[in-house]
Amino acid sequence: MNVSIPEIPASYASFREQLRAFITEHQPDVDLGRKAGMRVPEDPEEVAKLRTWVRALHDAGYSPSRFAQTDLDEFERRILHEELARTGVPSVLGNPLVGGALLHFGTELQKQTYLPAIATGEHIWTQLFSEPDAGSDLASLQTRAVLDGDHFVVSGQKVWSTWAQFSDYGYLLARTEPGSGRQGITAFILDMRSPGVTTRPLREITGTSDFNEVFLDSVRIPALNVIGETGAGWKVASASLTEERGGVGSRDSDGSVAGLVRLARTHRRGGRPAIESDAVRQAIGRFAARSHIRRCLGYRVASKAQRGAGDAWDGPLGKIWFSELNLEMADYALKLQGPRGALVEGEPLAWEDGRWQDAFLYARALLIGGGTNEILRNLIAERGLSLPREPRS
């Protein structure tokens, strides 16, 4: 795979201890339970605590955001990501997808205004791409933006927007030219407090409201808030989506494998711990091997990035691999629990307070987020393997 990831030297143990002490002192008291995936607090007070937490990380030089200026070297950054992942508390708020768009296409003023505020938690962003009739087929979006003097007037509806109920800004795609298809779409920075913006949280099968509908009724957006050029929003969005898919694929699956081992040691089959079953050990072993491959895929992408290389299919490949492995592990965890697999958060006998049940319900969202796996397989086939394009109607 042409992977080059050296082991963390023992001399970095003191940095890890120092970081753990900081986390113990500053970690916020927020109740996110044992939620899987990108989840959003229900209480605005918890959002305020998370902003304070992200700011504290930034001010101490521990910000994991790639938009923060830090003096951390490669090994310190790896330790930082490992330790923050163990907390189960978000250290980057909202959907920072706009960051990639601003880095590549934003004006200097836009970069200076918004990128530092993402790193400090001052600004929370949401992504306003999908619509009720334009999900994976994003090119068919219908939200319209009409130029009126030095503002665009925007009307339409967006859906599946994470963090929108608490967001300060939205990364919006709207059609500025007549017609359909990829041409004539423009990317905007939307102030979510603008008159005409209405956000309505959606209650999901997980029992939480991580996604929202957003309604835009003649919302005025300054022309200065266009990202890139008018009509070139598809190019801007494509660069961003590549990074989002890479983000999904880089999520940890080793922790879930360890969780399956704990589960199999506790639950019993035929009067004995399930872990003593050859079939169970082999199943978990297969998951462990696939999790190791996921990690190597991530290392490979990181190695290519260090050389300034990268391919359009890197993110999709990792995203498909992780999202399908994640669903299969959650499904297997419910089977290991037997009848207790039907118990959910809050019920006395639910294992780890329904952690795996929540993971199972949320897992299908990751099959869709960043582009459905079916769409991404087409991308890999056409751009990676140079296979003939699917017939277009």
Least confident interval from 282-291, 306-315, 344-353: 306-315
pLDDT of residue 251: 62
Which DSSP state fits 351? G
Residue 67 carries which DSSP code? Answer: T
Tell whether the model's pLDDT for residue 372 goes beyond 90: no
- What's residue 306's pLDDT? 60
Of 83, 244, 345, 390, the active-site residue reads 244
CA quadruple 29, 35, 39, 40: dihedral, nearest 10: -40
Identify the structural domains of the chain with CATH numbers, from first to last.
10-87 (no CATH), 124-231 (2.40.110.10), 250-384 (1.20.140.10)
Closest to 134 in 3D by CA, of 234, 242, 245? 234
Residues 6+ apart with CB under 8 A from 344: 207, 350, 354, 357, 358
Mean pLDDT along residues 248-270: 80
pLDDT of 243 above 70? no
Examine the pLDDT at 292 and tell me if it is beyond 50.
Answer: yes
* pLDDT given for residue 7 in this prediction: 83
Nearest to 189 by CA among 244, 117, 93: 117
Name beta bridge partners: 146: 153
Residue range 289-314: average pLDDT? 78
Angle at which helix 13-26 crosses helix 44-59, to 10 degrees, equals 150
Instruction: Label residue 207 by pLDDT band (50, 70, 90).
Output: confident
- Angle among Cα 205, 98, 189 to the nearest 5 degrees reads 100
Catalytic residue flag (residue 244): yes
Q: Is the pLDDT of residue 111 over 60?
A: yes
**CA separation for the pair 244, 298 (Å, rounded):** 14
Q: What is the mean pLDDT of residues 165-170?
A: 96
Give yes or no for residue 247 having a pLDDT over 60. Answer: no
- For the chain, the first-to-last Cα distance in angstroms comes to 38
